[in-house]
């Protein structure tokens, strides 16, 4: 089952198709053979990984397994249902939702950013403040282990009440901890603190503790060993060949999404639909290849070394943060790589808007907007006090204002020949987001192969970890 064409993400290069100053169609057309070659290499990488043949040194690491993961998970679910990975995820999510009211998700980088993006996009904007009934009997979710901020960790510790049983008899909280190795210090330190609080609440009942800690980790490593020592009831394995920033469609992202009641099958179906388009559509009709073409040409021929992901609405802000990591760690290597910048409009039009409109011409702005809001439309309405002059807009909705701001901003950019691209989601739901995340992951690895960079691995991130651990252990 795939998403209908009318529900697909739409993509267009808007302001970059300006004569003289922007890109023109024949520039993109000339790049088409190289785009096709890069796509072929990305798909060949997947076949190489699946073949279990030796990986050439220049291809290491080769974390291409994310590409066909949606189809593999869906196929397994349809064929084996009860024994499938998806069913295990759904069963654990149901168990946690029924027995606890708070989940602490511990992870950093790709180990939490996808889950947070799904949470902020799909859940009520004030999910954690709602009553349990208004949350659909789903737990509150808190994100930690993504920084070493003493006051933030202490504040969450205070909120959880150091492991007290809730008034309705539910368990105090559960921990979902995500770390492929278990050796990432930020997450490991937070786990030690919250695990201590949870152990105190459980007393001598080790079985109870084992049910309240759910690790998502590699096949081996420190966290796997700790999970075994605790006797954790449910342990999920991050598949081989899937790097952290590409892991949103593993238990890393799917388990938190399922805990929150999101339809993870539809999420994967959206990603699978984007895969089909990626494999079949030619340049000019492919969101993945066309977006790569515009980004690459704007950077190489127009000096647009800053890529602004401009989300129109707050719900996709965390998704833009997710993309920040994806782009930075994949292409920021060997002295190369555009710099990502995330903005939320109309909020940031009042902070960064001036610079984007009249500052240096080093930016490509990608507008990410949604055709239909998730909630009922709010109208300005008539007021007996019209000092604000808004009675002229009595029938306008907040969505109308947002759309006018988007179009007005784009007109202003076009007027000054500021390049933009457009990603339009039909709505914020699981299917659209599945397409969105898969599109950006595919586009990133295609661009890496296009310019001769390995988009997998993040050797630069390891340097600070080595120095940090050396400093701590030498004092």
Return the pLDDT at 475.
59
Return the pLDDT at 460.
76
As a whole number, the mean pLDDT across the chain is 92
Q: Which of 286-290, 328-332, 462-466 has the lowest mean pLDDT?
A: 462-466
Return the pLDDT at 461.
75
Per-residue pLDDT reduced to its tens digit, 195-206: 999 998 888 899
Report strand pairing: 420-427 vs 10-12. antiparallel
Give the count of alpha carbons within 13 A of 307, CB side only: 29
Whole-number Å distance between alpha carbons of 349 and 137: 37
Return the pLDDT at 6.
38
> Rounded to whole angstroms, what are the CA distances from 349 to 16, 312, 358?
20, 11, 12
Structure tokens at 35: 């785009």
Q: Which of 2-16, 143-157, 180-194, 374-388 has the lowest mean pLDDT?
A: 2-16
Average pLDDT over residues 291-313: 95
| 8 A C-beta contact, residue 307 and residue 339 | yes
| Statement: residue 419 has pLDDT above 70 | yes
Number of H helices, E strands in the chain: 16, 10
What is residue 171's DSSP assignment? B
10 Å CB burial of residue 339 (0-12, 13-18, 19+) is middle
Other CB atoms closer than 10 Å to residue 10's CB: what's the count? 11
Return the pLDDT at 467.
83
Q: Which of 283-287, 319-323, 340-344, 451-455 has the lowest mean pLDDT?
A: 283-287
Return the pLDDT at 226.
97
The architecture that CATH gives domain 5-57+267-460 is: 3-Layer(aba) Sandwich (3.40)
Q: 113-122 and 430-451 helices cross at what angle (nearest 10)?
A: 140
| Statement: residue 12 has pLDDT above 70 | no
Average pLDDT over residues 167-181: 84
Neighbouring-strand partners of residue 142: 104
pLDDT band at 469 (very low <50, low <70, confident <90, very high): confident
Q: 264-280 and 69-80 helices cross at what angle (nearest 10)?
A: 130
> Rounded to whole angstroms, what are the CA distances from 76 to 70, 89, 91, 129, 204?
10, 13, 16, 37, 39
Average pLDDT over residues 392-412: 95
Phi-psi bin for 108: left (phi > 0), alpha (psi -120 to 50), beta?
beta
The architecture that CATH gives domain 66-265 is: 3-Layer(aba) Sandwich (3.40)
Whole-number Å distance between alpha carbons of 377 and 402: 12
| Statement: residue 363 has pLDDT above 80 | yes
Each domain of the chain, given as residue ranges in start order, spans 5-57+267-460, 66-265
Whole-number Å distance between alpha carbons of 7 and 269: 12
More confident residue, 446 or 17: 446
| Statement: residue 422 has pLDDT above 80 | yes
Per-residue pLDDT reduced to its tens digit, 426-468: 999 999 999 999 999 999 999 999 999 999 988 877 777 788 8
End-to-end CA distance of the chain: 58
Structure tokens at 222: 């420190």
| Statement: residue 14 has pLDDT above 60 | no
Per-residue burial over 47-65, b = 16 or more CB atoms within 10 Å of its CB, e = otherwise: ebbeeeeeeeeebeebbbb
| Statement: residue 3 has pLDDT above 60 | no
Global confidence as pTM: 0.93
Q: Which distant-in-sequence residues (6+ apart) come within 8 Å of 17 by Cβ?
A: 23, 24, 25
Q: 251-259 and 85-99 helices cross at what angle (nearest 10)?
A: 40
Return the pLDDT at 5.
36
pLDDT band at 346 (very low <50, low <70, confident <90, very high): very high
Give the count of alpha carbons within 13 A of 323, CB side only: 27
Phi-psi bin for 244: left (phi > 0), alpha (psi -120 to 50), beta?
alpha
Average pLDDT over residues 405-426: 92
| Statement: residue 1 has pLDDT above 50 | no
Average pLDDT over residues 409-418: 92
10 Å CB burial of residue 237 (0-12, 13-18, 19+) is middle
Return the pLDDT at 66.
98
Average pLDDT over residues 181-209: 92
Which residues form the catalytic set? 329, 350, 465
Per-residue pLDDT reduced to its tens digit, 80-127: 999 999 999 999 999 999 999 999 999 999 999 999 999 999 999 999
Residues 387, 390, 394, 395: what is their CA dihedral angle, to the nearest 10 degrees?
-170
Same CATH topology for 5-57+267-460 and 66-265: the answer is yes
More confident residue, 172 or 437: 437
Whole-number Å distance between alpha carbons of 273 and 296: 24
């Amino acid at each position: 089952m795939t998403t209908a064409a009318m529900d697909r993400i739409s993509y267009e290069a808007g302001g970059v198709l300006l004569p003289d100053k922007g890109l023109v169609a024949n520039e993109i057309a000339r790049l088409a053979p190289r785009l096709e070659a890069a796509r072929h290499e990305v798909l060949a990488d997947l076949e190489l990984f699946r073949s279990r043949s030796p990986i050439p040194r220049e291809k290491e690491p080769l974390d291409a397994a994310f590409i066909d993961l949606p189809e593999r998970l869906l196929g397994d679910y349809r064929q084996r249902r009860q024994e499938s990975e998806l069913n295990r995820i759904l069963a654990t999510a149901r168990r946690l939702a029924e027995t606890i009211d708070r989940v602490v998700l511990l992870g950093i980088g790709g180990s939490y950013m996808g889950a947070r993006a799904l949470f902020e996009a799909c859940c009520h904007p004030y999910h954690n403040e709602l009553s349990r009934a208004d949350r659909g009997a789903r737990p509150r979710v808190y994100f930690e282990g993504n920084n070493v901020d003493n006051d933030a960790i202490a504040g969450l510790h205070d909120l959880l009440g150091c492991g007290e049983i809730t008034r309705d008899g539910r368990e105090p909280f559960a921990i979902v901890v995500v770390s492929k190795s278990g050796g990432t210090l930020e997450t490991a330190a937070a786990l030690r603190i919250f695990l201590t609080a949870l152990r105190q609440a459980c007393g001598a009942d080790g079985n109870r503790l084992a049910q309240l800690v759910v690790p998502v980790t590699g096949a081996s490593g420190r966290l796997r060993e700790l999970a075994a020592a605790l006797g954790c009831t449910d342990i999920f394995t991050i598949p081989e060949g899937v790097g952290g920033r590409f892991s949103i469609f593993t238990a890393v992202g799917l388990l938190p999404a399922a805990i929150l009641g999101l339809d993870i099958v539809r999420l994967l179906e959206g990603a699978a639909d984007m895969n089909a388009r990626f494999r079949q559509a030619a340049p000019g009709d492919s969101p993945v290849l066309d977006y790569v073409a515009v980004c690459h040409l704007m950077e190489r021929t127009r000096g647009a070394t800053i890529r602004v992901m401009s989300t129109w609405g707050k719900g996709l802000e965390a998704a833009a943060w997710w993309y920040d990591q994806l782009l930075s760690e994949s292409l920021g290597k060997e002295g190369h790589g555009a710099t990502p910048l995330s903005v939320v409009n109309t909020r940031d039009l009042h902070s960064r808007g001036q610079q984007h409109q009249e500052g240096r011409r080093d930016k490509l702005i990608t507008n990410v907007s949604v055709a239909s809001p998730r909630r009922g439309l709010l109208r300005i309405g008539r007021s007996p006090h019209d000092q604000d002059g808004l009675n002229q807009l009595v029938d306008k909705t907040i969505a109308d204002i947002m759309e006018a701001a988007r179009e007005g901003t784009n007109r202003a950019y076009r007027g000054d020949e500021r390049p933009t691209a457009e990603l339009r989601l039909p709505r914020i739901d699981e299917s659209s987001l599945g397409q969105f995340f898969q599109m950006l992951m595919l586009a990133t690895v295609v661009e890496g192969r296009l310019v001769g960079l390995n988009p997998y691995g993040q050797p630069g991130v390891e340097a600070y970890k080595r120095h940090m651990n050396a400093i701590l252990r030498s004092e």
